[in-house]
Amino acid sequence: MKSPKQLRMGYLVSKYPAVSHTFILREILALRERGVHIEVASINDPTVRGDMTQVEKDEADRTFYVKQAGALGVMRAACPMLIRHPVGLLRGLRFALSLGRGGPARTLLCFFYYAEALILSRWLQRQSLDHLHVHFASQAATVALILTHIAPVNLSITVHGPDEFFDVPGFYLVEKIAAARFITCISFFAQSQLMKLTPGTQWHKFDIARLGVDCNHFSPRLSRPSSPDCFEILSVGRLVPAKGQRVLIEAAAQLIRDGRQIRLRFVGDGPDRKQLEDLVKQKGLVSQIRFEGSINQDRIQEFYMATDIFAMASFAEGIPVVLMEAMAMGIPCVATSINGIPELIRDGIDGLLVAPSDVQGLAIALTRLMDETTLRENLGKAGRLRVQQNYELSKSADRIAALLRHRLEPVN
């Protein structure tokens, strides 16, 4: 009996490896363990290598970085194509310029995307790959979209949301759905937004493929004091407006005014850091609210182990992996009831959900967890069980590998 042909594909990511998207690295490693041959291309260079784990350094060494190819890389890709496949070269250029929709700045940007698509086309050819999968339907997916008009490449996309849903024309989301062979959605919420944009005849392209975490790695933390002298609250994520950190600071300030002994730690970095630090200084809470900066995966567990409560005040999310990690470690969680989060946390069962931007509601939920030891313990245990049952990395990788084979093997 003839053995099945190995599934081979390229992965395209905006930046790889990246501290904020470690789940992509985990997914790729898990799929390789399941026999899927994956080569990775990254549009942008990775984070400074000194901040990487050894696994991330190893991945960076084998990743192709598109922008590093530069103008010479564009010429090396374009010249042979001009001779062998001029129709695709010109067709891709015409399509890329059409995405500019008459705006000079956007047209110029799309021309640069076209140049990156040429470099990517040559890389795929040299790797003997005819399928490209992209995480996030954002700028990297725009490069891949243009690529499909240059060369005969099959495209698939993992859609996370919600940014793409806020600016559907700007992200060319409808065009990407039309060009893709299939699309994996990390949540039913994400799938519903794609369904809203497309006729029912396109819905066969959509699959649910949840992200996951390794519950053996993120194992239950050591027991914490039932009534600590100072409650530790942890929030992990990029410091950007969409994460709602200002709301969490206001809720923490309210708890402190009420005489609560708390320490709030923010792990992560981003453009909002200075404004948030200034707000904390204005409120005189520097000793109670701390900014720890960006932390790699070798150190993040230190912060999970040291906290009593995990809090997320986001205004927009897919299904946050950091929330899964905290739940896997048995940490009681408070999060906002937005987008895909209610698919992960059932209010009062696996954690507590509050309305986005509701400072008072968030303060009440945190107070409730501080006051009710049994509730903290029950939610922590239930949260871990929820992740084990529905978001365990090994199970997620099994499902994704099976999905890829179902979608792609008939093509090979």
Domain boundaries defined on the chain = 8-212+393-408, 231-390
Q: What is the mean pLDDT of residues 97-113?
A: 95
Q: What is the mean pLDDT of residues 177-181?
A: 97
Q: What is the mean pLDDT of residues 228-240?
A: 95
pLDDT on residue 279: 97
Give the Å distances, CA to CA, from 357 to 242, 251, 277, 310, 335: 11, 10, 19, 17, 11
pLDDT score of 155 more than 60: yes
pLDDT score of 1 more than 60: no
pLDDT score of 4 more than 60: no
Q: How far does the chain reach from its first CA to its final CA, in angstroms?
A: 18
Q: Any idea which of 2-11, 54-63, 190-199, 333-342 has the lowest mean pLDDT?
A: 2-11
Q: Does domain 8-212+393-408 have CATH number 3.30.530.20?
A: no
Q: What is the mean pLDDT of residues 277-285?
A: 97
pLDDT on residue 161: 87
pLDDT on residue 226: 74
Query: Tens of pLDDT along 386-401?
Result: 999 999 999 999 999 9
Question: Within 13 Å of residue 250, how many CA atoms lie on the same side as its CB?
Answer: 11
> Measured between alpha carbons, how far is 183 from 163 in angstroms, rounded to an integer?
16
Reduced DSSP (H G I as helix, E B as strand, rest coil) percent helix, strand, coil of the chain, to 5: 50, 15, 30
> Measured between alpha carbons, how far is 140 from 117 in angstroms, rounded to an integer?
9
pLDDT score of 258 more than 70: yes
pLDDT on residue 6: 81
> Measured between alpha carbons, how far is 312 from 320 in angstroms, rounded to an integer?
9
Length of the chain: 412
Confidence band of 411 (pLDDT split at 50, 70, 90): very low
pLDDT on residue 47: 67
Q: What is the mean pLDDT of residues 256-285?
A: 97
Q: Any idea which of 40-54, 159-173, 256-270 has the lowest mean pLDDT?
A: 40-54
* Residue 1 or 57, more confident: 57
Query: Tens of pLDDT along 324-373?
Result: 999 999 999 999 999 999 999 999 999 999 999 999 999 999 999 999 99
* Residue 3 or 170, more confident: 170
pLDDT on residue 2: 39
Same CATH fold, 231-390 and 8-212+393-408? yes
Q: What is the mean pLDDT of residues 119-136?
A: 96
* Residue 297 or 315, more confident: 315
Query: Tens of pLDDT along 12-52?
Result: 999 999 877 889 999 999 999 999 999 999 999 986 676 78
Which 8-state DSSP code applies to residue 45? -
> Measured between alpha carbons, how far is 111 from 99 in angstroms, rounded to an integer?
9
Tokens representing 128? 């003997």
> Measured between alpha carbons, how far is 112 from 120 in angstroms, rounded to an integer?
12
Mean pLDDT of the chain: 94
Confidence band of 227 (pLDDT split at 50, 70, 90): confident
Confidence band of 78 (pLDDT split at 50, 70, 90): very high
CATH architecture classification, 231-390 = 3-Layer(aba) Sandwich (3.40)
What percent of the chain clears pLDDT 70, i.e. is strictly above it? 97
* H-assigned helices in 17-138: 22-33, 54-62, 66-84, 86-99, 104-126
pLDDT on residue 242: 95
pLDDT score of 125 more than 80: yes
